[in-house]
């Protein structure tokens, strides 16, 4: 039997990605997880059978194939492989959001819960929800079934924990009194934001097409290094207060914070004492918060989207100019975050708030080069609305892997977490990876290439402090800088607020 006429090459390409998680398959073929779920249903309709291994990080496997596929030469070759037909997609979930717990009928019956009243399991749950987690992560951490997890989430919500389900990011998170995290929430976007999006996106598309993307050669010399500056999660638009009502972080603080990061990056480069060929300036996403991002945000939102955009753009351009004066070449690698997706009419799927910001910076640089002969040593690489951006280090001798971080955890201590990073390493063959999103700083402990997570300048909320999840008297982390030679990472320095005044 031959393959059905409607069996597409794209379906075959996706089929070949198994075994893997839905996120891994989506990343490998450049599609969203919901689109992968749609293709999964098409494959089921054509006779393929699947199962999901929940004990292996929700890895999907193919358990049976139709006769026509088994008779195909490619299928026979694949079938002889020891890895053949061990694939991932949840055939119990035809709806791409069906894996998300339904908390819509659960009423909040109290204020924020007293930490003393939480059970040990609820404490673990609150800790994970602080930065957001997928249902799979929560089930893995608690070692419970989806049904039991949903019951725990409902109990926590009834007791006053502001638990909500983020359908765009497919995560569950906790919204405390003071902005524990931000995530996409389409229901509270305003008409003003929509109008700004449509006008700004359309203007940028026209201008972008008429300008050449700034490029510059990235060379390497013997004995020299590349210097990396990674800042992420500025969250322009968010306002954070302590429990006395004092404002700890707001949009107007961001220019000084970015300038401080630039100063410290140069100071630490001098301290490291190397000769440098290129400074890689990595912008990791969630630079702006958008508007109406999470439940209850309006009471803490201190700037609309246009203000967020303009406030961040100026210090980023200033940072770029300062580094371009200090290093032979500056390579800007810009990755989008998870906050900025927008669906206003007249915009494409690439209409991401971070992407609009980066394209605006790109256009400024292009104009300065064209009309003033400035920034000739700047190279720009702007990632699209995907999860990662790869870039060359040391004139291509090494590979850097930048991602916002929402689909990876800053750890590899469980088999599921380690498998995620091993899959990323196999797909991208990186020598150094950098990520943010989780608002933590440090190096992932594992036996693979270095993976560095950078913090956010935005402080954690008061609810987190009451649970003891922050370190009293510590310095707020704001960025990460590091050196890279032909042999790999030579040094990594956390940038925090100890010198900030």
Handedness of CA 412, 417, 422, 427 (dihedral sign): negative
Nearest to 352 by CA among 385, 307, 386: 385
* CATH code of residue 143: 1.10.10
319 plus 439 within the same structural domain: yes
How many structural domains is the chain composed of?
3
Please give the pLDDT value at position 46: 85
Residues 49-66 pLDDT 10s: 888 877 667 788 888 888
381 plus 422 within the same structural domain: yes
343 or 258, which is more confident: 258
373 plus 288 within the same structural domain: yes
- Mean pLDDT, the chain, rounded, equals 76
Question: Is residue 482 in a domain?
Answer: no
* CATH code of residue 58: 1.10.10.10
* CATH code of residue 431: 3.60.21
Other Cβ atoms closer than 10 A to 48:
22
199 plus 169 within the same structural domain: no
Q: Name the pairing type of β-strands 240-241 and 398-403.
A: unpaired
Please give the pLDDT value at position 167: 64
Please give the pLDDT value at position 245: 73
Rounded to whole angstroms, how far apart are CA atoms 350 and 191?
Answer: 20
Q: Which helix (H) or strand (E) holds 442?
A: strand 442-443
Q: What percent of the chain has pLDDT over 90?
A: 31
Question: Is residue 499 in a domain?
Answer: no
φ and ψ of 375, to 5 deg: 55, 35
Question: Is residue 108 in a domain?
Answer: no
What would the 3-class secondary structure string for 217-276 be? Answer: CCCCCCCCEEEEEEECCCCECECEECCCCCEEECHHHHHHHHHHHHHHHHHHHHHHCCCE
Q: Each residue of 254-264: b (16+ CB within 10 Å) or e?
A: bbebbebbbeb
153 plus 75 within the same structural domain: no
Q: Model's pTM, two decimal places?
A: 0.61
267 plus 415 within the same structural domain: yes
269 plus 142 within the same structural domain: no
198 plus 308 within the same structural domain: yes
Question: Is residue 492 in a domain?
Answer: no
Question: Is residue 179 in a domain?
Answer: no
Question: Is residue 199 in a domain?
Answer: yes
252 plus 346 within the same structural domain: yes
Please give the pLDDT value at position 196: 54
Range of the domain at 21: 9-79
Rounded to whole angstroms, how far apart are CA atoms 33 and 51?
Answer: 17
151 plus 279 within the same structural domain: no
Question: Is residue 262 in a domain?
Answer: yes
Nearest to 137 by CA among 438, 443, 444, 467: 438
Nearest to 489 by CA among 439, 446, 442, 449: 449
Is it the case that residue 71 has pLDDT exceeding 80?
no
Please give the pLDDT value at position 298: 39
22 plus 124 within the same structural domain: no
Most confident of 92-96, 234-238, 297-301: 234-238
Most confident of 24-38, 76-90, 266-280, 306-320: 266-280
Residues 430-460 pLDDT 10s: 999 999 988 888 999 999 999 999 999 987 6
412 plus 456 within the same structural domain: yes
Q: How confident is the model at residue 420 (pLDDT cuts 50, 70, 90)?
A: confident
Please give the pLDDT value at position 303: 53
Residues 467-501 pLDDT 10s: 334 445 567 899 999 999 999 999 999 999 888 87
Lowest mean pLDDT across 131-145, 308-322, 333-347: 333-347
Please give the pLDDT value at position 474: 65
Question: Is residue 313 in a domain?
Answer: yes
């Amino acid at each position: 039997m031959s393959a059905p006429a409607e069996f597409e090459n794209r379906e075959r390409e996706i089929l070949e990605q198994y075994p893997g998680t839905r996120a891994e398959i989506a990343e490998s073929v450049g599609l969203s997880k919901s689109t992968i779920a749609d293709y999964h249903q098409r494959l089921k309709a054509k006779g393929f059978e699947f199962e999901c291994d929940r004990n292996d990080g929700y890895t999907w496997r193919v358990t049976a194939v139709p006769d026509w596929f088994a008779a195909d030469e490619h299928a026979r070759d694949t079938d002889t492989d020891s890895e053949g037909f061990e694939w991932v997609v949840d055939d119990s979930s035809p709806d791409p959001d069906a894996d998300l717990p339904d908390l819509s009928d659960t009423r909040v019956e109290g204020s924020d819960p007293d930490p003393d009243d939480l059970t040990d399991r609820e404490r673990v749950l609150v800790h994970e929800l602080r930065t957001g987690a997928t249902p799979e992560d929560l089930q893995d951490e608690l070692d419970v079934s989806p049904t039991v997890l949903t019951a725990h989430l409902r109990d926590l919500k009834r007791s006053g924990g502001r638990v909500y389900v983020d359908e765009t990011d497919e995560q569950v998170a906790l919204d405390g009194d003071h902005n524990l995290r931000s995530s996409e929430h389409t229901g509270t976007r305003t008409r003003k934001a929509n109008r700004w999006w449509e006008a700004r996106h359309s203007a940028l598309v026209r201008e972008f097409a008429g300008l050449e993307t700034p490029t510059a050669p990235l060379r390497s010399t013997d004995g020299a290094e590349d210097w990396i500056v990674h800042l992420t999660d500025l969250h322009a638009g968010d306002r954070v207060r302590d429990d006395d009502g004092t404002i700890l972080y707001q949009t107007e603080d961001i220019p000084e914070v970015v300038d401080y990061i630039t100063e410290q990056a140069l100071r630490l480069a001098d301290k490291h004492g190397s000769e440098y060929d290129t400074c890689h300036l990595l912008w990791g996403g969630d630079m702006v918060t958008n508007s109406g991002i999470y439940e209850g945000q309006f009471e803490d939102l201190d700037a609309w989207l246009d203000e967020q955009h303009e406030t961040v753009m100026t210090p980023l351009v200033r940072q770029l100019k300062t580094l371009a004066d200090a290093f032979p070449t500056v390579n800007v690698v810009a990755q989008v975050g998870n906050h900025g997706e927008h669906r206003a009419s007249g915009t494409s799927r690439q209409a991401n708030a971070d992407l609009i910001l980066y394209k605006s910076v790109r256009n400024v640089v292009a104009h300065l080069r064209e009309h003033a002969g400035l920034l000739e040593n700047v190279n720009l690489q702007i990632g699209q609305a995907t999860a990662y951006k790869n870039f060359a280090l040391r004139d291509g001798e090494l590979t850097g892997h930048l991602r916002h971080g929402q689909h990876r955890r800053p750890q590899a201590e469980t088999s599921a977490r380690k498998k995620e990073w091993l899959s990323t390493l196999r797909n991208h063959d990186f020598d150094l990876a950098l990520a943010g999103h989780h608002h933590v700083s440090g190096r992932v402990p594992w036996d693979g290439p270095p993976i560095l997570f950078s913090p956010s300048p935005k402080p954690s909320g008061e609810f987190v402090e009451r649970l003891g999840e922050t370190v009293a008297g510590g310095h707020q982390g704001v960025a990460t800088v590091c050196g890279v030679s032909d042999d790999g990472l030579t040094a990594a320095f956390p940038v925090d607020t100890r010198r900030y005044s």
